[in-house]
Amino acid sequence: MLAETSSSPAPTAAISKPADWSPEQETALLLDLCEAQMEAAMRDSDQSVDMLVRAFTDLVEASRAMSEMASKMPPAHDGMTAGELNRRAEMVSKQINDAIVAFQFYDKLTQRLGHVRHSLTTLALFVCNRTQTQQRDHWHKLLTSLRRLYRTQEERVVFDLVAEGATADAVRAAVSHDENKHSEASSVELF
Amino acid sequence: MPGVILAVDDSASMRQMVRYTLENAGYEVVQANDGVEALDYAKGSGVDLVLTDVNMPNMDGITLCKELRGLSHYKGVPILMLTTESASDTKSRGKQAGATGWIVKPFNPEQLLATIAKVL
């Protein structure tokens, strides 16, 4: 009786493991969890960005209409000259161009996260196959197939550094340097 | 004289940004979600230029480019790829498919318009 009351129950998982339990299955489960969390976060942000794009489009239309009105105005109107209105309209137009570049980074982010999600799913399937995980060449094939997934320059920089065994700090430093180098949009090549 | 541009991208926000930029410069913009939709449109109508993403569901931009070059009325139409991809092997596939040029996202509106003006 005394022994029963003084001993605390052991965690359930430690008492009984299901017949199909394995560290590989647990790893796959955690990878799937990461993938599911990313998908949920992306879905939420997609909705917000859609709203933002709609609002931006309305603002752009309003700005365009105001510019047209300003161009038709007589030289002076209620103390504000048409020239001043046009100057402000030009400033708005420049800010719109900057916003167009900024919006595209969300599109790029979505693509990059999509690649990471695909990598997590692929890895979850891979680790469940013990025959594969025991052979080094299968890991090499996995790495090669995942590299093909990463098609932007930024992704490849990170991938190659990690594959070559760079430390997390070295990767961060390289990415920061690369971002500074490529912060200006965009590159054009005519064939 | 601005013309008609077929803009193809599976991202709604990207299509909006492209549409605004082109319409603001006086172009008429026809939009498509992917290569299949764009090709369906192209079979029945001509445009002055095609601006397409590369990675899209159903039909990617490089396949679309090849298919368009197979249509007699699209042989001489400039096709610009607008994509996040910058890998040289993918660019090379685009060139072989008949693309006129390659623009890496994010695009700068003024630079995009200057490139379009150059190839039209």
Contact yes or no for B76/B48 (Cβ under 8 A): no
What is A7-55 written as a DSSP string?
A: SPPPPHHHH---TT--HHHHHHHHHHHHHHHHHHHHHHHHHHHHHHHHH
**What single-letter DSSP state applies at residue B25?**
T
Q: Does B13 contact A186 at a Cβ distance shorter than 8 Å?
A: no
pLDDT more than 70, % of chain A? 82
What type of residue is B2? P
- Complex ipTM value: 0.83
Residues of A in contact with B102 (CB under 8 A): 188-189, 191
pTM: 0.74
pLDDT (0 to 100) of residue A2: 39
CA distances from B4 to A106, B19, B55, B79, B118 (A): 27, 11, 23, 13, 15
Does residue A191 carry a pLDDT above 50?
yes
Q: Which residues, at least 6 apart from A62, have a Cβ–Cβ distance to it below 8 Å?
A: none
Q: pLDDT below 50 — which residues of chain B?
A: none
List the domain range (segments joined by +) for residue A78: 22-149
Please state the domain extents for chain B.
Answer: 4-107
Q: B7-27 pLDDT, tens per residue?
A: 999 988 889 889 989 998 899
Return the CATH class of domain B4-107: alpha beta
Q: In sequence order, what are the beta bridge partners of B6? A: B30, B50
Does residue A177 carry a pLDDT above 80?
no
Whether A1 maps to a domain, the answer reads no
Does residue A1 carry a pLDDT above 50?
no
Whether A58 maps to a domain, the answer reads yes
Whether A45 maps to a domain, the answer reads yes
The size of the A-B interface in CB pairs under 8 A is 94
Q: What is the mean pLDDT of chain A?
A: 80
Domain count, chain A: 1
Q: Which of A111, A153, A185 sits opposite B107 (nearest CB)?
A: A185
Select from B54, B96, B108 the residue whose CB has the most chain A CBs within 10 Å, as the one to mutate to test that interface.
B108
Residues in chain B whose Cβ is within 8 Å of chain A:
11-14, 16-17, 20-21, 24, 55, 84-87, 90-91, 95, 99-111, 115, 118-119
